[in-house]
Amino acid sequence: MPVPGAVVIGQSGGPTAVINQTLIGVVKACRANPKVFTKVLGAIHGIQGILDGKFHDFANETDANLELVAGTPSAALKSVRHKATPEDGKKIFARFKELGVRYFFYIGGNDTAETTNIINELAHAEGYDLTCFHCPKTIDNDLRVTDHCPGYGSAAKFVTQAFMGDNLDNRSLSGIKINIVMGRNAGWLTAASVLARQFPGDGPHLIYCPEADFSLDAFCADVEAIYRKLGRCVVAVSEGIHGPNGQEIVTTGEVDSHGNKQLSGTGAMGDFLSDVLKKHLAKTWPEKKHRIRADTFGYLQRCFPGVISETDASEARLAGSAAVAAALADVKSGSVAFKRNDGAYGVTTFITPLPTVAKETKPMPREWLNAAGNDVVSEIVLPYLKPLVGTLPAIGQLKI
Amino acid sequence: MPVPGAVVIGQSGGPTAVINQTLIGVVKACRANPKVFTKVLGAIHGIQGILDGKFHDFANETDANLELVAGTPSAALKSVRHKATPEDGKKIFARFKELGVRYFFYIGGNDTAETTNIINELAHAEGYDLTCFHCPKTIDNDLRVTDHCPGYGSAAKFVTQAFMGDNLDNRSLSGIKINIVMGRNAGWLTAASVLARQFPGDGPHLIYCPEADFSLDAFCADVEAIYRKLGRCVVAVSEGIHGPNGQEIVTTGEVDSHGNKQLSGTGAMGDFLSDVLKKHLAKTWPEKKHRIRADTFGYLQRCFPGVISETDASEARLAGSAAVAAALADVKSGSVAFKRNDGAYGVTTFITPLPTVAKETKPMPREWLNAAGNDVVSEIVLPYLKPLVGTLPAIGQLKI
């Protein structure tokens, strides 16, 4: 039997379009079991809120407002990028004792799973009876164990629609267009651009992911070949591309407390690749004036209201309620993961130990990219992606 | 009585999310009057297609496919940025005579209106009986005479939703966020970011448009003041901002055949403003680590499938059919414009002479910005904008 006690929920890391679905999934499942979950508290800015004593009591929220919040992108409890230290652990348990907290649900990516694991281990070491769950979320789709991650489907939908529109734009006013897509170490989100291909000749014509080493020479040759053939070229490039042995393509500055480098929030990579191509074509094709543009999709990809995959939204809700269901079944810790059902698309949840999800991430398999490393293998990627992204806008073209 | 003859339709300039609505508006209205409009031809890549003899015969298109195309962003006939010369005129009329063309509809912005006007004047000079209409489109909303332009409402919807999401993102992980919005010489599109404010304290907290002179010192002081007060700051900046006497803030390279400078397709402006702020805060607030990011919305703003204002779509259709209606009423030339009805929102179309729309653009009135030039006057901008943008996603927040 699960012990009665208060619940603390937090959100951590980069927000997604559906992270509040998971939050509300936890809150509503807890509210449905008031004998076990005596109080439901939200930690403002994740564990920083626990350390600072800043909580939100969900007793003050109506179901109608919770549903409105669930459909709203970004972390309603506000987020944080902070890795728990042993000293933090002591402060956290002091606070938990004071509030009678026996359940901790932490929504986030691999860094968040790591912090959840640290808190779980510290609780054991301190002999504090705490049930500790990590609920997955990341647009990067790079968590281990699970088939895919809540947040990914909606970001993939945004990226797909962005490439659909940009391919049409580029078809209308020809030239070379480079689009930089989020994804720290994994190409999952960049790979989603393949879904934008609706008609023969549609872009993106080239897709570069971090799972294959990137070479500027090969990039220039690839782009020029397509551009000479079609008169235009749309390119998807992951912000995480690198040369052999992880060599950086463009160096940017900042590093967070988990050691992650800043890749987004600057146009540096796109502008650099654009300049490289301009110089290359000035040599190989000087007689033509070339129109070369780069866009960096940036933060729009992860929190765009109105571009949300329904599958992703309902699965994100499930990632929250499944954690509470496990706690009610007296499971003491773990991370919620999805297994894809056989046959018609659907998922089954299961609980995986926290260390299996914490820290390390899962790149896309190298075999999902072609040998040249400049495209995905559609036969593998499309069946995986399509159900996660859901319905896309209908695209028409004249019989030109 | 209008003379029977073939029709040529073209699309020109930067595409929009609804430019095909106008195209299909023209096509369907012409097809409904086959005795007058004996043939309906699309010029591929605008007047370039006329010069090159590249046409699409709309007789080959089903109504169902036309409707699918109408709902698809970007120019289905492909676009061009080319200003007609007197020599072009001779070639165009030779082609028109050959094909029996008596009607020319050209969909685009002020540059397109200029080209339509040139062709109209050349036709008069040559004594060639040609009916010449310009149908408005521009996300910049900077055409003269008309209340607003087809294409603007959908781009404004994208910008609004982008700022809604980005405000939530920034609220979740605090810092300073700069977003660069399209709009060559006018702040109309940047001003649309104001619609994103849903709750007290919501961003964008500052809005900079080209209609007020931009100063880096004032910008740094404005941002720092908000940032010190709220702990965060979301800023909307038009790509067209400039110092006194049009002085450039950041210099970029290319210029098109109409003399327009390249502003989009690079992250240069955002990265520059971000660096300026970093240096400023390193001096004025060195004890804190500052998170400063910039995104350039880029081409996504103008052609994003799935983010289309229904008002904009239906008005864009009207801009096409109204031009055909005028031609049927024996009006020989002009540009379609909208007058906003009194009372409940709606528009009435009228025809304005081509020279009143060609060349010069219409900036947003300076009075629509506050005295400091760092925000819009909501009481003026919101009533103008809301009906054009239409329904927005519902945003909720916890009672924190």
For residue B186, count CB atoms less than 10 angstroms from its CB and return exposed for 0-12, middle for 13-18, buried for 19 or more: buried
Query: Testing the interface with B: which of A295, A302, A389 to mutate, by most B Cβ within 10 A?
Result: A295
Span B5-150+308-356: which CATH code?
3.40.50.450
What distance in Å separates the CA atoms of residue B125 and residue A24, rounded to the nearest whole number?
A: 70
Q: Is the pLDDT of residue A189 over 80?
A: yes
Q: What angle do CA B126, B131, B137 make, to 5 degrees?
A: 120
Mean pLDDT across A23-39: 98
> What pLDDT sits at residue B252?
59
Closest chain A residue to B297, measured at CA:
A297
pLDDT category of residue B254 using cuts at 50, 70 and 90: low
What integer pLDDT is reported at residue B91 of this predicted model?
94
Q: Which of B162, B294, B303 sits opposite A304 (nearest CB)?
A: B162
| Band (A266; pLDDT cuts 50, 70, 90) | confident
The residue of B170, B304, B308 whose CB has the most chain A CBs within 10 angstroms, and thus the best one to mutate to test that interface, is B304
The predicted model gives A82-96 an average pLDDT of 91
Q: Please indicate whether, in this complex, the C-beta atoms of A294 and B267 are within 8 angstroms of each other.
A: yes
Over 80: is that where the pLDDT of A108 sits? yes
CA atoms within 13 Å, Cβ hemisphere of B57: 6
Render pLDDT for A140-159 as a digit per residue (tens, 0 to 9). Answer: 999 999 999 999 999 999 99
- % of chain A at pLDDT higher than 90: 91
Say if residue A202's pLDDT is above 90.
yes
Tens digits of per-residue pLDDT, B5-62? 999 999 999 999 999 999 999 999 999 999 999 999 999 999 999 999 999 999 999 9
Q: Quick check: is B140 catalytic?
A: yes
The third-level CATH classification (topology) of the domain covering A5-150+307-356 is Rossmann fold (3.40.50)
pLDDT at A264: 64
**CATH 3.40.50.450 residue ranges in chain B?**
5-150+308-356
The nearest CA of chain A is from the CA of B103 a distance in Å of 21
In chain A, list all ranges with CATH 3.40.50.460: 153-301+365-389
Q: How far is A382 from chain B (nearest CA, A)?
A: 20
> In this structure, is the dihedral angle defined by the CA atoms of residues B107, B113, B114 and B116, taken in order, positive or negative?
positive
* Nearest CB to B79; choose among A73, A173, A296: A173
What is the location of CATH 3.40.50.450 in chain A? 5-150+307-356
Query: Per-residue pLDDT averaged across A248-253, rounded?
Result: 73
For the stretch B326-348, pLDDT in tens is: 999 999 999 999 999 999 999 99
The band of A249, judged by pLDDT with boundaries at 50, 70 and 90, is confident
Question: A153-301+365-389 has which fold?
Answer: Rossmann fold (3.40.50)
In the CATH hierarchy, which top-level class contains the domain B153-301+363-388? alpha beta
Cβ–Cβ gap B168/A293 under 8 Å? no
Higher pLDDT, A331 or B263: A331
Return the CA Rg of chain B. Answer: 23
Supply the pLDDT for residue A1.
Answer: 81
pLDDT tens across A305-351, in order? Answer: 999 999 999 999 999 999 999 999 999 999 999 999 999 999 999 99
What integer pLDDT is reported at residue B260 of this predicted model? Answer: 61
DSSP A205: -
Cα–Cα dist A167/B76, whole Å: 12
Chain A residues lying within 8 Å of B266, measured CB to CB? 267, 270-271, 274, 293-294
Beta strands A101-108; A176-181: pairing state:
unpaired
pLDDT of residue A388: 98
What angle in degrees, to the nearest 10, is found between the helix axes of B310-328 and B378-389? 80
The residues, ordered by sequence, that sit 6+ positions from B84 with a Cβ below 8 Å of its Cβ are B47, B92, B115, B118, B119, B122
| Pick from B15, B61, B171: CB nearest A78 | B171
Query: What local confidence, expressed as pLDDT, does residue A330 receive?
Result: 97
Tell me which of B111, B140, B202, B375 is the catalytic residue: B140
| pLDDT (0 to 100) of residue B259 | 62
The answer to whether residues A11 and A75 touch, using CB atoms and an 8 Å cutoff, is yes
Helix, strand or coil, per DSSP, at residue A294: strand
- A256: pLDDT strictly greater than 60: no
A 88-107 residues inside an 8 A Cβ radius of B: none
Cross-strand partners of B354: none
Whole-prediction pTM: 0.97
Q: How confident is the model at residue B84 (pLDDT cuts 50, 70, 90)?
A: confident
| Stretch A197-205: mean pLDDT | 97
Asked whether the beta carbons of residue B166 and residue A303 sit closer than 8 angstroms, the reply is yes
Is pLDDT above 80 for B265?
no
pLDDT at B58: 98
What's the mean per-residue pLDDT of chain A? 95
What residues form DSSP beta bridges with A39?
Answer: A6
8 A C-beta contact, residue A337 and residue A331: no
Does residue A261 surpass a pLDDT of 90?
no
Q: How much of chain A, in percent, has pLDDT values that exceed 70? A: 96
Provide the pLDDT confidence category of residue B89 given band limits of 50, 70 and 90. confident
Report the distance separating Cα B74 and Cα B126, nearest Å: 34
pLDDT value of residue A64: 98
Residue in A11, A137, A304 to test binding to B, most B beta-carbons within 10 Å: A304
Contacts of B78 in chain A (CB under 8 A): 171-173, 400
Cβ <8 Å between A81 and B274: no
pLDDT for B178: 98
Q: Give the tokens for residue A13.
A: 């890391």
User: Comparing B260 with A342, which gets the higher pLDDT?
Assistant: A342
| Predicted local confidence at residue A252, as pLDDT | 59
Residue-wise pLDDT for B292-315, tens only, equals: 999 999 999 999 999 999 999 999
- Pairwise CB contact (< 8 Å): B397 & A76: yes
What whole-number distance in Å separates Cα of residue B140 and Cα of residue B135? 15
Question: What pLDDT was estimated at residue A86?
Answer: 83
- Token pair 């954690």: residue: A323
The model's pLDDT over B211-224, given as tens digits with 9 standing for 90+, comes to: 999 999 999 999 99
With CB atoms and an 8 Å threshold, state whether A399 touches B271.
no
Min Cα–Cα distance to chain A from B72, Å: 5
Distance in angstroms (rounded) separating the CA atoms of residues B162 and B154: 12
Judged by CB atoms within 8 Å, which residues 131-170 of B form the interface with A?
161-162, 164-166, 168-169
User: CATH 3.40.50.460 spans which residues of chain B?
Assistant: 153-301+363-388
